Chains A and B, each alone.
Chain A
Amino acid sequence: MSTSTYEQGLDLSGTAPLPFARLVRVELRKMADTRAGRWLLISIAALTTLVLVIQLSVVLSQDLTVEFRDFMVAMNTPMGILLPVLGVMCVTSEWSQRTAMVTFTLEPSRMKLVRAKFVATMLIAVAAVIVGMLLSVPANMLYGALSGNDVVWGFGPDDVLYVFLLHVFGMATGFAFGTLFLNTPAGIVVYFVYSFVLPPLFALGAALMGWFESLQPWIDFADAQNPLIEGNVSGAEWAHLAVSGFIWLVLPLAIGTWRVLRAEVK
C-alpha cells in the first residue's frame, strides 16, 4: 500500500485564526438558542415591564410624585437579579452540558474564548440597560399623562453611566462566579448568597462591632454599589467600589479564569 502518494503534512496557509468578533457573535447566539437562555432573556424584559407597570399603578393610585429616576431604580431590581444568572450560565452551561469539549476543540485558545464570552455577556448587559431605559421612558410619560403632574426627566450622562456600571458589575460578578464554580446551581446560589445574605450580615456586623464598621465599606461590594443607584458617587465611594470590587469581582474572575484554562472537560 503506497502511503507516500498522499500529503503527510497539513497545509495551513488557507486558514486564519478565528477572528475575535466571530467568537463573540457565536457566544451571543449560544445565549439565546436554547429554551433556558431564550426564556431568561424574555423574562428579563417581561419582568422589567411588569415592575414598571406595578410601580405606575401604585404611584397613580397613591397619588405619589415620582420622576424618571424612580422608574430607572425600579428597573434595576429585576435586571440586578436576572442578568448575573445569565452571566453564570454563559460559562457553566458549557461544563454542565459538556459542550466545552466541542468549543475548546474548535478554538484551542481558552483565554480567547473566556474573553469572547466575557465581551458577549457585557454586550448583553448593555443591551438590557438600553431596553430598560426605553421601557422607562413611556412609563414616565404615561405617569405624566395619567396623573396630570409635571414629567420630570432629570437624568444626566453621569446617571446613565452609573446604571450601565451597575449592571456591568452585576453581570461580570455572575460571570466570575460561573468561572469559579463551573457549575450552574453552585454559581447561582453563591451569587444570591453574596448579593442577598451577605449585605445584611455585613450591616449587622457593622452595627455590633465598631472595628468592623470602618472595614465594612471596603469589603461590601453590594453596598458599595448603592451610590451608583442613588446617582451620586463621592471620591471615597469610588475607592470603596474599587477595593470591594477587587475582592468580589476581579479576584474570583482571575481564579475562575485560571480554572477554566486548566480544567479538564470530562
Chain B
Amino acid sequence: MIKVEGLTRKYGDFTAVDDVSFECQPGRVTGFLGPNGAGKTTTMRVMVGLTPATHGRVTIGGHLYKDIPNPGRHVGVLLDASAQHAGRTGREVLTLGAMTMGLDLSRVDEMLELVSLDAKEARRRVRNYSLGMRQRLGIAHALLGDPSVLILDEPANGLDPAGIRWMRGLLKGYAERGGTVLLSSHLLHEVEIIADEMILIGRGRIVARGDKKSLLAHAGKAATLVTALDNDELGRVPKDRGFAVSGVGQGLRVETEPVEVGRAAADHAIVLTDLRSAEEGLEDLFLELTSDSQRDDLTPGSAA
C-alpha cells in the first residue's frame, strides 16, 4: 500500500535518507525503527509531501500523496503531536479537521470518545495538554477521516504504559480490519510487540527488515534466563553440555535457546521456577546494526 522506492533526501552535503526502499502491506502494522536522527521522520515527511525527495519517490496505493483528492479521507497522518495551535481547544482542532475534510461534525465526538478525551478535556486549550493528551488528540485527528492508511511518527512518545497498551490494541484492530499502519519509534520494545514487520534504519539506510522471528534468527545468539529450586545443580547441567552459564539476579543466564535448557532440566529432573528467553538478541541486533549512528559509544558486549 505504501511503497517507498529508492528514496534519497539530501540537505546540502548531509544525506538524511539514503536510497531507502520498502513497502507497507495492508492488514499489517509496520514498525519503522531507528535511533534519533536516523531518517525516519524525513522519510515520513516525504511520504505526505511535506518534504520533496531528492531522488526516488513514495506512492500510497499507487498515487503520489499530492495527487490524492481530500487526502485526509485516505491517509491519516500524525507527524508531530505538538504541531497544534496552543490556543485552540482540543475539540476545535478536530472541528477544523472535520470541516476541512467535509465530515459530519458528529465525527469529532466519536473520535474524542475513541481516544478517551472527555468533554472537559476537549474544552481545554492544547497549551494545557500533557504530551500524552496531545498524542491522543493527534491520533484522533489522524483517524478523523476514516482513512485506510495510517502514518504515525513516534505516536507512543509521551503515552503512559496504559496509553501505550490502549494504542497497541487500537492499531492492531485497525490493521485487522484491513488498514495499513506505519509507525515509527526509537524504542524497540514499543514496536516489537505491536509490529508484524519491522524496518530498521540507521544513518539514513535500511539495516535490517523482517518480522521479529526472522530478525532474531539473524541475530544468532540466543540466551535464556532460568531459575530453579536448586540453582547450583541446574548450573552444572548446561555447562556439561557446553553452554556458557553465568549468574544473573536470582537465577542463571545460559547462552542457548530456552528449549535446550528445559530439556536439560527435564533430563535431570530439576524443578524450574522460571524459564524464559533473554530476548535481548533483538536489542543487541538493533544497537549493533545502528551503531554507526548511535550518539553514545557502546562498547561491544556491554549490553550483555
Contacts and interface: CB of A to CB of B under 8 A. Distances in A.
A195 to B, nearest CB: 26
Q: Which 6 pairs from chain A and chain B are nearest by CB?
A: A10-B61, A34-B87, A6-B26, A98-B83, A108-B66, A15-B70
B80 A101 contact: yes
Interface string A1-38: 10101111110101111110011011001100111110
B63 A6 contact: no
Interface of B: 1, 25-28, 45, 48-51, 60-63, 65-66, 68-74, 77, 79-80, 82-88, 92, 96-97, 99-102, 141, 148-149, 178, 196
A7 B65 contact: no
Contact of B63 (A1, A5, A10): A10
Nearest to A102: B83
Contacts of B86: 97
Contacts of A101: 50, 79-80, 83
A24 B156 CA distance: 34
8 contacts: A3-B26, A3-B27, A18-B69, A97-B86, A98-B84, A101-B80, A105-B72, A264-B45
Interface residues of A, number: 40
Interface in A91-150: 93, 97-99, 101-102, 104-109
Contact of B102 (A1, A8, A18, A36): A18
A215 B60 CA distance: 56
B77 A105 contact: yes
B83 A99 contact: yes
Nearest to B66: A108
A4 to B, nearest CB: 9
B87 A35 contact: yes
A107 B100 contact: yes
Given A9-B61, A30-B96, A105-B77, 7 more contacts: A8-B26, A9-B1, A101-B50, A102-B83, A105-B72, A109-B66, A265-B83
Interface of B is mostly: loop
A12 B100 contact: no
B11 to A, nearest CB: 9
A98 B97 CA distance: 15
Contact of B71 (A97, A98, A108, A265): A108
A16 B49 contact: no
A12 B79 CA distance: 23
Contact of A34 (B1, B80, B88): B88
Contacts, number: 120
B148 to A, nearest CB: 7
B85 A99 contact: yes
A231 to B, nearest CB: 39
A264 B71 contact: no
Contacts of A25: 99
B100 A106 contact: yes
B184 to A, nearest CB: 15
A105 to B, nearest CB: 5
A6 B174 CA distance: 13
A119 to B, nearest CB: 15
B49 A104 contact: yes
Contacts of B62: 8-10
Nearest to A35: B87
A19 B70 CA distance: 10
Nearest to A33: B92
Contacts of A265: 50, 83
A16 B61 contact: no
A99 B137 CA distance: 14
A264 B68 contact: no
Contacts of A33: 88, 92, 96
A39 to B, nearest CB: 10
A10 B68 contact: yes
B151 to A, nearest CB: 9
Contacts of B80: 98, 101
B71 A105 contact: yes
A102 B144 CA distance: 13
Nearest to A8: B1
Contact of B25 (A3, A26, A93, A105): A3
